């Protein structure tokens, strides 16, 4: 068992979109390129999240993509690996591989096929993974997205897990989109040993006032500089204007299926048509015109540049 302390994250992270070739195989080259561009924009990498189409990827594909990032010299301290699975053995295998690759932080869904499972069952799942990996470098961020998983990460469950594994249970991503739930998590677990990440930049400023660690937002894939600047300048007068711009862009993507829309926007901006590819059951935006949405992104970037050019210092 390693004695190295786990990595803790701050700031904005993107649940990294997974590019595919036309045969639906992951495009490792485009994946690394996208990851490097996000890090260059000061956005961390939450690989294998919902927007990554993680549950459409096999265990072997995820392991290969992790190895590709390591080979490309991506700093593992900037990465959070999504390792949740309905299969206990697969969750253990991917978590162990992530930690061995230097990615100690993992974002872990509860097992999500069976519904109305007991708190004891969900606790046992997380406990078995932590015990099986058995590494002090491991930091588990609990992934609360009940609208898709059908399984809630309750305050009582968080308390039980923290009591049993105080050095390992690092925080939670709250993907309810409900400010009252995020506020409750922030006020209930207000000490500095537990990090709360809302899943939307719309909640970022209010959440930071209560001690949030940042946010993990899908639209950080397409609007990274704006969001990283919003986090960095959250306490500056300009933050309200930045927030307004960031939320307007998020709303534009929320009006349509977000994953195909973000991929189509990246395809338009990079000229790489294969970025439009999504794995079934998702379907790509082949006929929808994304130019107006991309123009909104570019207008936001111009606004940001203008604000920065007039900033003191």
3-state helix, strand, coil in the chain (%, to 5): 50, 10, 35
Residue 263 annotated in active site: no
Phi, psi of 312, deg, nearest 5: -65, 145
47 appears as a binding residue in the annotation: no
Residue with tokens 């491991």: 138
Could you give the CA distance from residue 51 to residue 16 in angstroms, rounded to a whole number? Answer: 7
Residue 126 annotated in active site: no
Residue by residue, DSSP assigns 63-112 as HHHHHHHHHTT--GGGEEEE---SSHHHHHHHHHHHHHTT--EEEEPPP-
Of the residues 62, 173, 263, 276, only one is catalytic, namely 173
Residue with tokens 């970037």: 301
Of the residues 141, 143, 231, 285, only one is catalytic, namely 143
**Nearest Cα to Cα of residue 221 among 172, 166, 164, 262:** 262
Could you give the CA distance from residue 271 to residue 205 in angstroms, rounded to a whole number? Answer: 34
Give the residue ranges of the annotated binding site for pyruvate: 216
Q: Which residues are catalytic?
A: 143, 173
Give the residue ranges of the annotated binding site: 216
């Amino acid at each position: 068992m390693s004695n190295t302390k786990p990595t803790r994250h701050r700031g904005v992270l993107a649940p990294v979109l997974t590019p595919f070739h036309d045969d639906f195989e992951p495009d490792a080259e485009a994946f690394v390129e996208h990851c490097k561009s996000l890090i260059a924009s000061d956005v961390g990498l939450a690989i294998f999240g919902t927007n990554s189409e993680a549950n459409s990827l096999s265990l072997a594909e995820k392991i290969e993509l992790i190895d590709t990032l390591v080979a490309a010299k991506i700093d593992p301290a900037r990465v959070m690996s999504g390792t949740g699975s309905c299969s206990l053995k697969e969750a253990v295998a991917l978590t162990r591989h992530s930690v061995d690759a230097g990615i100690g932080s993992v974002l872990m869904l509860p097992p999500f096929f069976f519904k109305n499972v007991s708190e004891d069952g969900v606790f046992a799942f997380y406990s078995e993974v932590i015990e099986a990996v058995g590494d002090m470098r491991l930091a588990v961020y609990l992934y609360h997205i009940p609208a898709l998983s059908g399984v809630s990460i309750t305050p009582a469950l968080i308390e039980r897990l923290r009591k049993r594994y105080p050095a390992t249970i690092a925080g939670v991503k709250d993907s309810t989109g409900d400010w009252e739930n995020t506020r409750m998590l922030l006020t209930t677990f207000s000490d500095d040993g537990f990090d709360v990440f809302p899943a939307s930049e719309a909640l970022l400023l209010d959440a930071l006032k209560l001690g949030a660690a940042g946010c993990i937002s899908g639209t950080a894939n397409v609007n990274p500089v704006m969001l990283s600047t919003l986090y960095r300048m959250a306490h500056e007068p300009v933050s309200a204007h930045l927030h307004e711009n960031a939320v307007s862009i998020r709303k534009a993507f929320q009006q349509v299926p977000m994953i195909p829309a973000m991929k189509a926007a990246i395809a338009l901006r990079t000229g790489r048509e294969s970025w439009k590819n999504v794995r079934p059951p998702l379907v790509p935006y082949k006929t929808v015109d994304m130019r107006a949405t991309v123009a909104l992104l570019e207008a936001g970037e111009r606004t940001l540049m203008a604000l920065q050019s007039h900033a003191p210092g």
